[in-house]
Amino acid sequence: MQKTALSVEEIRQDFPILKRKVGVGGSKTLVYLDNAATTQKPYAVINAMNEYYSNYNANIHRAVHQLGEEATFAYEQTREKVAKFINARSTDEIIFTRNATEAINLVAYSWGRRNIKRADTIVLTEMEHHSNIVPWQILSREKKSKICYLGVDDQGYLKMRDYERALEKEAVRLVSVSEMSNVLGTILPLKEIITRAHEDNVPVFVDAAQSVPHLPVDVQRTDCDFLAFSAHKMLGPTGVGVLYVKKEILEEMPPFIGGGDMIKEVHQQNVIYNDLPYRFEGGTQNIAGVVGFSAALDYLAAIGMDRVRNHELDLTRYALSALSDLKDVIIYGPKNFRDRGGVISFNIADIHPHDLATIMNEHGIAIRSGHHCAQVLMERLDVAATSRASFYIYNTQEEIDLFADALLDARRIFRI
């Protein structure tokens, strides 16, 4: 790959699914614009998982035979790569989970049940994914604590005055925010949010499911206390998530799941837990998935996250312009493409998003329709659903042109 510019055509050759024919009669080359939901997988990831199952399939941390040691080495090597990717201080701060959702639940269960008290306030935003709402709702009902939602203005930006007001008036014990909205694309001023929270000794959880795959992320720079993301949104396999927690916080957290590998000793009446981070990884993990994720991290590191971001900025600017040229299109989120990720949610006239997605599918174009697991935000926008196109490293301006042409066909079908 070129070191100065992202060669999209070269990248596309690494993704077998992009050669697939779909749509009416299987006549259309796939245009995949649902990357905020999950990304496609390059040969490197597919081959790495096949290599594991074919040549060194074994459980980790248990056996002294060669296969077990090879599997353990590959698994732990991925942990080292994750720590480097987000600039964690230590691999002790990296926990593998099934997904970002489980990572959030782990913190809500382990840290939350020990630290959230009656009348405490958990601060969220109106743009949160359900994964960053429901675990805190369950916790707040149990603890009789409160949830405060920071508002979103009509341009899709967070109302920072609401944030300041909450910190001044409420007994805030935790702030939990998405760095990038999966609907609006809005990128939050994360460093400002964290710095202000820490002035009041309030820890901050970052749902980075949409940011780590698309932006350079540095947990030491932002100084976040918790951070979660998923492998499948960044070229890796499903079933693998990452939870980052500052070591000094993690050391005080009780285990989330009890069982094998998260212990040192088990006796009839007592147990001695394992060291960090293993005490939070009970049972056999998704070893093959973690091995595949290792290849995904290598792939993105070779490209460089700055170039990933710049490519998506170009696509987002181009797509916003193309959509703005169409009549009766409402685009949600910031108008300034630099303030958002490669996610564009929109509605067009009175065409229901599900109908529009069906028409797009006939053209071989995969987009998302619905509430995107963000019904609190849908209520704020006063819509039941939106259509959403989202981009990644293998998408092109030519695909956006096909997308815009398909939208014109939808207008024709509905006689708009």
**Helix or strand run (H / E) with residue 301:** helix 287-303
Alpha-carbon distance 116 to 167, whole Å?
A: 16
Query: What burial letters (b/e) apply to 351-360, b meaning 16+ CB within 10 Å?
Result: bebeebbebb
Cβ–Cβ < 8 Å for 309, 337: no
Long-range residue pairs from 329-338, CB within 8 A, at least 24 positions apart, any chain: 329/407, 332/156, 332/183, 332/184, 332/381, 332/386, 333/155, 333/156, 333/181, 333/183, 333/184, 333/185, 333/186, 334/155, 334/156, 334/157, 334/184, 334/185, 334/186, 335/155, 337/313, 338/313
Residue type, 303: I
Beta pairing, strands 31-32 & 226-230: unpaired
Residue tagged 């193309």 (tokens): 322
**Residue from 303, 329, 373, 416 carrying the catalytic annotation:** 373
Query: DSSP states of 211-266 as a string?
Result: TTTTS---HHHHT-SEEEEEGGGGTS-TT-EEEEE-HHHHTTPPPSS-STTSEEEE
Sign of CA dihedral 375, 376, 381, 383: positive
Cβ–Cβ < 8 Å for 374, 125: no
Long-range residue pairs from 49-54, CB within 8 A, at least 24 positions apart, any chain: 49/237, 49/288, 49/289, 49/291, 49/292, 51/291, 52/287, 52/288, 52/291, 52/292, 53/288
373 is catalytic: yes
3-state SS of 255-279 is CCCCCCCCEEEECCCCEEECCCCHH
Residues classed as catalytic: 373
